[in-house]
Structure 1
């Protein structure tokens, strides 16, 4: 299975709050955000890890070159990366999509924080559902809501996804921004780009419109690092506090 990381955002909110490092190189628990994801993906049998970072600084690209050359703490990494600034996460996804068109993959943004054991269980569930032919995608969701503009996920009792909503009166789940997809999703992505859409939530809705069968897999919490105080929240969460 392949894994992909969107790391092309500017991190403007962190910068405004005094965080000088590019977001991929922000440390949580003493580990760069991008290194943490790569390590976790390798622990879950990554065949290839595809990354896109922006061209606003050379620091992230230099770090990725070092990972390609030296590995992560000496561990060889099957890493491919692109350096390109894009106007949205969907555009970033589209740039790396040619490298994801021949295999199931798990995609997320560089600042996504989750418990490692939960992620491993999620990957196992995704693999099994693919093998059984029951799904076109397994989306990570959570009932923990700490997002400025959450995307609500409506499911039936079997956790089949029925809708993605900007508003829901009695929400059960929101999107965790963890997307396990088969390569058929690239066709939907291309359609979104042709229509001029740019938000990942519209891509998720388009998957349903195109008849893709999606299921939800619940994480206890998924956090994003958008603000300086999110770093402390993430460290406390990963420490079990």
Structure 2
């Protein structure tokens, strides 16, 4: 199974709030967010980890390249490219993800490792096209609500909470490479947000299952660092 990390954002909100480090190198409990994801992915049998970083973020690029020179970095592939959105970043690394099951997330996604391991095992033993990590913990400025039926099959992704949408998307996507066809279509249509890719999967009749996590946090603001550490230590 291949894993991918989108780390191509500018981290402008953190910078405005006094965090000088690029977002991927911000530490949670003494470990950079990008190193944490790499470690977790490697412990879940990563064949290869594809990482995309912003071309303007030389410090992060140097950090990853240095890691690639070590034994722990031998299965990392680095792509350096400035992109306008996460979906564009996904599209840039998609050629390296074909022919394999894959798991994709952004660099600032914080979750419990045990829940992630169970999630990957559940996906690998399923026959679905995609398994989306979801949570009923909502601490997001613009959540994407996930509508499910009584078997946790995803029926829609919506911007406004409805009667069948007590979960929101956690931003962790385990997918078969069939889903890359939807990504290609969305890009050709000029779509630019991951939520539109997810809606595209529904439109293309992909079989998607929601997998609940207790909490999933994003580190968008300086105050989120302490929240993330408190969550992981709880």
Q: TM-score, normalised by structure 1?
A: 0.95
Secondary structure of the corresponding residue to residue 24 of structure 1: helix
Deviations 1:197-226 (A, max 9, x none): 000000000001011100000000000000
1:235 and 2:212 correspond: no
The answer for the alignment partner of 2:25 in structure 1 is 25
Residue 209 (structure 2) aligned to one of 207, 215, 218: 215
Structure 2: state its 5+ residue gaps: none
Residue 81 (structure 1) aligned to one of 78, 101, 107: 78
Structure 1: state its 5+ residue gaps: none
2:100 and 2:229 map into 1 onto residues whose CA distance is 33
Deviations 1:97-138 (A, max 9, x none): 000011000000000000000000000000000xxxx31000
Residue 127 (structure 1) aligned to one of 124, 143, 150: 124
Secondary structure of the corresponding residue to residue 83 of structure 2: coil
Tell me the CA shift for residue 79 of structure 1.
0.3
1:206 and 2:203 correspond: no
The answer for the alignment partner of 1:149 in structure 2 is 142
1:173 and 2:154 correspond: no
Please list every run of at least 4 consecutive aligned residues from structure 1 whose deviation after the TM superposition is greater than 4 angstroms: none
Q: How many residues align?
A: 233
1:182 and 2:176 correspond: yes
Tell me the CA shift for residue 76 of structure 1.
4.5
Deviations 1:3-40 (A, max 9, x none): 00000000000000000000100101000000000000
Aligned Cα root-mean-square deviation (Å): 0.8
The answer for the alignment partner of 1:52 in structure 2 is 52
The answer for the alignment partner of 2:98 in structure 1 is 101
